[in-house]
Amino acid sequence: MVGDAHTSRTMATTAIVTGAAGFIGSALVELLLSRNYNVLGIDNFRTGKRENLSVVQGDKRFRLLEADISKRVLTKDITEALSSSHFVSKDIDSVFHLAAISSVKESIENPQLVNDTNVAGTINVLEMTRQLEIKRLVFSSSAAIYGSPEKMPVHEDAPCHPLSPYAASKIAGELYIHSYAELYGISGTILRYFNVYGPRQAYSEYSGVISTFTNQALRNEPITIEGSGNQTRSFIYVEDIARATLAAGEIKKASGMIINLSGIESISISRLAQIIRKNVADSQSEIIHVQPRPSDVKESIGSMERARKILEFHPEVQLESGLCKTIEWYRAHQTAR
Ligand SMILES: NC(=O)c1ccc[n+]([C@@H]2O[C@H](COP(=O)([O-])OP(=O)(O)OC[C@H]3O[C@@H](n4cnc5c(N)ncnc54)[C@H](O)[C@@H]3O)[C@@H](O)[C@H]2O)c1
């Protein structure tokens, strides 16, 4: 549960969500609208999809700006979009910055592109925030920045040890958030997401493991475990992540903080493959092992002490129940990879 401070909202508030058409961004947009926000979404549809926003598309409190954050500062575009919007409040209260290239694999293949999006894009979003005099910004960072830490669960003060250009880009983003807080008093919160899963997560060669295994099981293709399968992860359901992200934007004491958002329990990748195959009731898939992926970490679970204390947040969706919802969603929305 998250605390009472943000369970109801009578005054309309306006927020910007970058990466609004993405897996997590679209869940956050829906949550914000359900809490009576006006939302201005930004996306260039690189991995995001229009159908992710189909539920909110007709809503007058939602406006989408199709734009690339890496190319320029979007202050003018935002001002124009706002002036022609039906929003009750045209003052923007907060920015939730999720737009990024979120694949470790893609960052190894194309580090320059990932730098343009995740670092230059973040600077452009910060400049836009400064120029529009917005006071709050929540940045979606990643557990990847810890690399392969010695102690589990990982606390927020563990050292950064980037094992990929993606991790390096998220550390750079965090540092830019700190510098803008110092220089311009923009109050920033950094959220380090661990493994997020759920409906709408893209299925591609760059996908997260739950999307990959589920789609393989639904297609009766082999479920491919990279490496031994003894590596462990903690998974957090997308609706839980959206709730915690919103809380980070609303709770004053989250300002200036770095907060992990992780699942509560660890599970091995082998066990995960078995559970998914069992839950995709009619799957004929066999489970096979392939080459380990470069810079894969052995264990990954974050300490949730700070999230509990600062955000009064605790994940509500258990892995098996989240997996069932996810499997049903992919069954209904199967697309070519
Ligand atoms: N999914 C996870 O497990 C996970 C874990 C850690 C951190 N994160 C972070 O959370 C955020 C959201 O991730 P996601 O899983 O929803 O990924 P996603 O790829 O579904 O969402 C990213 C969105 O950003 C958009 N985007 C990319 N480049 C852009 C650009 N130049 N201009 C405008 N929009 C652009 C994409 O089109 C997409 O809609 C990312 O910052 C990611 O690094 C995700």
Q: Which of 193, 235, 258, 301 to mutate to test the pocket of ligand 1 (most atoms within 8 A of CB)?
A: 193
Surface-to-core class of residue 75, CB atoms within 10 Å of its CB (0-12 exposed, 13-18 middle, 19+ buried): middle
Section 266-275 average pLDDT: 97
**Cβ atoms < 10 Å from Cβ of 130:** 17
Task: Indicate whether 337 pLDDT > 70.
Answer: no
Q: How far is the CA of 30 from the centre of ligand 1 (A)?
A: 16
Section 243-266 average pLDDT: 97
Ligand 1 atom showing the smallest separation from residue 48 Cα: 39
Q: How far is the CA of 73 from the centre of ligand 1 (A)?
A: 18
* Residue range 4-197+236-263+301-316 in CATH 3.90.1150.10: no
Helix, strand or coil, per DSSP, at residue 159: coil
Packing angle between helix 209-218 and helix 269-279, nearest 10 degrees? Answer: 40
Active-site residue flag, 37? no
* Range in 156-170, 233-247, 285-299 with the lowest mean pLDDT: 285-299
Confidence category of residue 206, pLDDT binned at 50, 70, 90: confident
pLDDT at 4: 39
- Give the CA dihedral 140, 146, 149, 155, nearest 10 degrees: -50
pLDDT at 231: 96
pLDDT at 49: 97
Q: What are the boundaries of each domain within the chain? A: 4-197+236-263+301-316
Task: Supply the residue whose CA is at minimum distance from atom 23 of ligand 1.
Answer: 19
pLDDT at 122: 98
- pLDDT (tens digit per residue) in 148-180: 998 999 999 999 999 999 999 999 999 999 999
* Range in 9-18, 78-87, 189-198, 303-312 with the lowest mean pLDDT: 9-18
* Range in 41-50, 112-121, 275-284, 327-336 with the lowest mean pLDDT: 327-336
- pLDDT (tens digit per residue) in 120-154: 999 999 999 999 999 999 999 999 999 999 899 99
pLDDT at 9: 56
Task: Indicate whether 10 pLDDT > 60.
Answer: no
CA quadruple 125, 130, 131, 132: dihedral sign? positive
Integer Cα distance of 89 and 29 in angstroms? 17
Burial 141-178 (b: 16+ CB within 10 A, else e): bbbbbbbebeebbbebebeeebbbbbbbbbbbbbebbe
**Cβ atoms < 10 Å from Cβ of 334:** 12
Section 277-291 average pLDDT: 93
pLDDT at 281: 81
Residue 295 gets the label, from left (phi > 0), alpha (psi -120 to 50) or beta, of left
Q: How far is the CA of 18 from the centre of ligand 1 (A)?
A: 9
Q: How far is the CA of 281 from the centre of ligand 1 (A)?
A: 31
- pLDDT (tens digit per residue) in 29-81: 999 999 999 999 999 999 999 999 999 999 999 999 999 999 999 999 999 99
pLDDT at 295: 76
Would the pTM of this model clear 0.85, i.e. be above it? yes
Section 99-113 average pLDDT: 96
Task: Indicate whether 105 pLDDT > 60.
Answer: yes
At position 256, the amino acid (one-letter code) is G
**Cβ atoms < 10 Å from Cβ of 323:** 24
Q: Which residues line ligand 1 (CB under 6 A)?
A: 19, 21-25, 42-48, 68-70, 98-102, 117, 121, 140, 142, 193, 195-196, 202, 208
pLDDT at 296: 84
pLDDT at 335: 62
Task: Indicate whether 3 pLDDT > 70.
Answer: no
**What is the chain's mean pLDDT, rounded?**
94
Q: Which of 69, 102, 205, 245 to mutate to test the pocket of ligand 1 (most atoms within 8 A of CB)?
A: 102
Integer Cα distance of 158 and 178 in angstroms? 17
Integer Cα distance of 101 and 168 in angstroms? 12
Section 97-105 average pLDDT: 96
Q: Which residues, 6 or more positions from 321, have their beta carbon under 8 angstroms from its beta carbon?
A: none
Task: Indicate whether 92 pLDDT > 80.
Answer: yes
